[in-house]
Amino acid sequence: MGADRRALVLMRHGQSEDNERDLFSGWRDPALTAKGIAEARAAGRAMRASGLHFDCAFTSGLRRAQATLALLLEELGQPDLPVQKDIALNERDYGALAGLNKTEARARFGVEQVRSWRKSYEAVPPGGESLAMTAARVWPFFEETIMPRLRDGARVLVVAHGNALRALLVRLDGIAPEAIEEVNIGTAEFLVYGAADPAASLALRRRPASSPPDDVAG
């Protein structure tokens, strides 16, 4: 794995059609936009330039994450990498908010209520999941399925969703639940972890795919 023991990369999908329209996605299944496709490819090039190489990958049951993974693996020269897809890595379920424009949601429910639903750890949108509930399905999958691969020395790539990854960061980076409101992961941004046990490490890199040298216009 190399002297720096980089073992785990977590990445959010590229821009989706819902992101472009500022809609709550949740378990909706929009495709990537042209910008999202470019972001995914740029991330793959950035990873390749950084010397990253993987033994296996995990992604969600939603096509925006799956497509992002496929595109970046092409750029990495690893199109046949073993990939496991699982709905445990799906985005947080936004319930009744899914499909709503965020501005419209603020007008309907109030700015502070929508902020609480979006960013806080415990607030539950109508018919949906809180971030705590999202963590309750994402973290067991990570512990039971991904962590054993890391302990065996595998280099693992996970391409998922903003809130699914934020839920992981509470444990991986030791972020207090009340502080997670301030944590954001941009589209196609990836985080690199360095130890065989990522729960004992800090992120070595937070690099958006659109950063130089692979700038994405628009």
189 catalytic residue (yes or no) = no
39 catalytic residue (yes or no) = no
CA distance 97 to 105: 7
**Is position 14 annotated in a ligand binding site?**
yes
**Is position 161 annotated in a ligand binding site?**
no
User: From residue 77, how far is each of 6, 14, 87 by CA, in Å?
Assistant: 19, 19, 26
Token reading at 75 = 């750029």
Residue 9 — left, alpha, or beta (φ > 0 → left; ψ -120 to 50 → alpha)?
beta
**Residue type for 168, please?**
L
What is the secondary structure of 129-157 as a DSSP string? --HHHHHHHHHHHIIIIIHHHHHTT--EE
Q: Which of 13, 39, 129, 189 is catalytic?
A: 13
Q: Are strands 83-85 and 56-59 parallel, antiparallel or unpaired?
A: parallel
186 by DSSP, 3-state: which? coil
Nearest Cα neighbor of 167 from 204, 137, 208 is 137
**Is position 17 annotated in a ligand binding site?**
yes
Q: What is the 8-class DSSP label of residue 23?
A: B
**Is position 143 annotated in a ligand binding site?**
no
**Is position 101 annotated in a ligand binding site?**
no
**Is position 94 annotated in a ligand binding site?**
yes
Return the percent helix, strand and coil in the chain, to nearest 5.
45, 15, 40
Q: Which of 39, 91, 129, 189 is catalytic?
A: 91
**Is position 35 annotated in a ligand binding site?**
no
**Is position 207 annotated in a ligand binding site?**
no
**Is position 189 annotated in a ligand binding site?**
no
**Is position 53 annotated in a ligand binding site?**
no
**Is position 12 annotated in a ligand binding site?**
yes
**Is position 91 annotated in a ligand binding site?**
yes
**Is position 153 annotated in a ligand binding site?**
no
> Which parts are annotated binding residues?
12-19, 25-26, 64, 91-94, 102, 162-163
> Which parts are annotated binding residues for substrate?
12-19, 25-26, 64, 91-94, 102, 162-163
Residues taking part in catalysis:
13, 91
